[in-house]
Chains A and B, each alone.
Chain A
Amino acid sequence: MKTIHSAKGNSLIYKAISQVFMLVMTLLILFPIYFMFINSFKSRPDFIKNPIGLPAPFTVQSFLDAFAGKNFVSWFGNSIFLMLASIVITTLFSCLAAFAFARMDFKGSKTIFNMMIPLMSIPPIIMLIPLYKVMAVLNLVNTRASVILIYSGIMVPFTIFLLKNFFANVPKSLTEAAFIDGATQFQTFYKIIIPLSKSALITASIVNIVWVWNELLIALVFLQDESMRTIIVGLTLFKSRYTLNVPVIMAGLSIATIPMLLVYIFGQRYLVQGLLSGAVKE
């Protein structure tokens, strides 16, 4: 790789200082994550004696205890279900709309699109009270459907924004050729645009997955039944009630974090690109 900023002339001192600085930063960043994982593998007395060092003895009992917790498995399942359902709805609705915004001429297209974009920055706390009333009227409080609807509604503007830019860049000649071959508009959409936009779809989905999985406020307010909670809400409320057995809490947090770490490790490129797309145009 090219080294432009530094060039070759950089002194040893510069290299040493920058390495020391970065190592200190890395340690500061890693310590809390290390603290969480390492203490998941300790017994309770071991944690009290030695909260920083390696486990002695190493035990997975805390993980077993966490899973044995009354609702832990259903919390995990709920998070997965809410995530899948809301991502599917968001992606479907956003693809259709982004296709229209990117490839069709219609009255108000620009205006509607431009009104949609700022909506992605409106903080959920503002929608919370009215949404609670809406869901009460629809008889949806304490149902998964309410949360799926809300998550989808919140994710749609960002997803349309990201996909529209991508769809617009698919060469016109491709869709025109298909059109001449007798394909309908909808066929050009799902046979040409969608397959060519796989990376944008993955990017949007990964950003959305991370957001849904980590969300607290909406799940907290709308899913009040103990067995309906998401893993994040479950752990948050669990922590405030059982603060004594720290390794079990750390094990629970680790389990809630591992799926996102996997997403990060395998989808880093997409995730970073997706998060940046709000700021830096590709």
Chain B
Amino acid sequence: MKYKNRLGLVVPYLYIMPAILIVTLIIVFPVVNIIVNSFFTTVGGKEVWFGINNYIMIFKDDLFWTSILNNLRLFASIPFITVFAILIAALLYDKILGWHFYQSIIFTPYILAIPVVGIVFSYILQYKGVLNTLLASIGCESLVKDWLGTPKLAIWSIVAVVVWKQIGFGVVLFLARLGSVPPVLYEAATVDGAGWWKKLIHVTLPQLATTIEFFIIINIINMLSWVFDFVFVMTGGGPVNSTYVMEYFIYQKAFAGSLVNMGEAAGVIVLIFAICIIAAESIIRKRLEDFQ
């Protein structure tokens, strides 16, 4: 009997064991390992203590600053995604004619693979591509540009593609939240004679506030650490390294160059950013759950 009881105490841990093991191997151990290794350097196949020199090397590397700046430039997509997603969600919430069709279409890019999207857009945006043909045919020759081949322009072209890809998730997220707004609020506003715009400002936006915060935070995480695919496929970091982002910097250092420890130090910097944002995210997630 005693034996059985003790066994009973262990049972729950047996259930969670496989999950814990694989998560430890794939996520926890690497996170610890990358922090430790960022203070070492590799000499003749051996890890040697290197202090903060990897970090100093990174801070002296122009490409690092280009990468960080580009991640920040990608943040420019967030206001566009958010504003358009709110507008579209508010319209669809009105159940305008065909709203269900519109919602299905607008969500579609979100399920496409970024590499697929990136390749298709690189054909649309290339100098002899469809976009320029269209621009020329409507008489906007001055707008004809090498969208992905001009250093100052390429990152903004990527921003546009990111907006195209991500908008659908925002629409669906906001629409879902609006579904749980008490109808009374809109009825009351209608009785008070509020028009569409006033309802948007005084009812919809306040009701969506927490969801908007949450959405912006997810997008900040995305722009900081989930944009490798766009860059790898559309520009490969070019032209003249103008579209490097942090992930691409790490990838290049570790897998193309052989500056593995420098890549690890860069990884730690991304990790620090990510942890700050994830902390903010979990606070907001808590608030979201509280009022539902």
Does A74 count as interface, using CB distance less than 8 angstroms?
no
A85 to B274, CA, bound (A): 29
Contact with B along A209-246 (1 / 0, CB 8 A): 01001101100110000000000110110011000001
Q: How large is the interface on B (under 10, 10 to 19, 20 to 34, 35 or more residues)?
A: 35 or more
Main secondary structure of the interface of A (DSSP, over half): helix
Which residues of B are found within 8 Å of A26, using beta-carbon distances?
102, 105-106
A96 to B13, CA, bound (A): 10
Report if A236-B91 is in contact (Cβ < 8 Å); known contacts: A51-B130, A154-B26: no
Report if A260-B112 is in contact (Cβ < 8 Å); known contacts: A93-B18, A130-B37: yes
Closest to B36 in A: A130
Q: How large is the interface on A (under 10, 10 to 19, 20 to 34, 35 or more residues)?
A: 35 or more
Contact with A along B17-37 (1 / 0, CB 8 A): 011101101111111011001
Report if A30-B11 is in contact (Cβ < 8 Å); known contacts: A128-B251, A236-B233: no
A185 to B88, CA, bound (A): 48
Which residues of A are found within 8 Å of B173, using beta-carbon distances?
276, 279-280
Give the interface of B toward A (CB within 8 A).
Answer: 9, 11-13, 15-16, 18-20, 22-23, 25-31, 33-34, 37, 84, 87-88, 90-91, 93-98, 102, 104-117, 119-121, 123-124, 129-130, 133-134, 164, 167-169, 172-173, 176-177, 183, 186-187, 190, 196, 199, 204, 211, 214-215, 218, 221, 224-226, 228-229, 232-233, 236, 246-247, 250-251, 254-255, 260, 263-264, 267, 270-271, 274, 277-279, 281-282, 285, 288-289, 292
Task: Report yes or no: B23 in contact with A119, Cβ–Cβ below 8 A.
Answer: yes
Which residues of B are found within 8 Å of A123, using beta-carbon distances?
221, 224-226, 247, 270, 274
Task: Report yes or no: B15 in contact with A32, Cβ–Cβ below 8 A.
Answer: no
Task: Report yes or no: A5 in contact with B90, Cβ–Cβ below 8 A.
Answer: yes
Interface residue from A129, A153, A250 paired with B254 (Cβ < 8 Å): A129
Does A126 count as interface, using CB distance less than 8 angstroms?
yes
Task: Report yes or no: A264 in contact with B108, Cβ–Cβ below 8 A.
Answer: yes
Give the interface of A toward B (CB within 8 A).
Answer: 1-7, 9-10, 14-15, 18-19, 21-22, 25-26, 28-30, 32-33, 35-36, 51-52, 89, 92-94, 96-97, 99-101, 104-106, 109, 112, 116-119, 121-123, 125-134, 149-150, 152-154, 156-157, 160, 185, 210, 213-214, 216-217, 220-221, 232-233, 235-236, 239-240, 246, 249-250, 253, 256-257, 260-261, 263-264, 268, 271-272, 275-276, 279-281
Main secondary structure of the interface of B (DSSP, over half): helix
Report if A232-B113 is in contact (Cβ < 8 Å); known contacts: A22-B102, A26-B105, A279-B218: yes
A116 to B190, CA, bound (A): 45
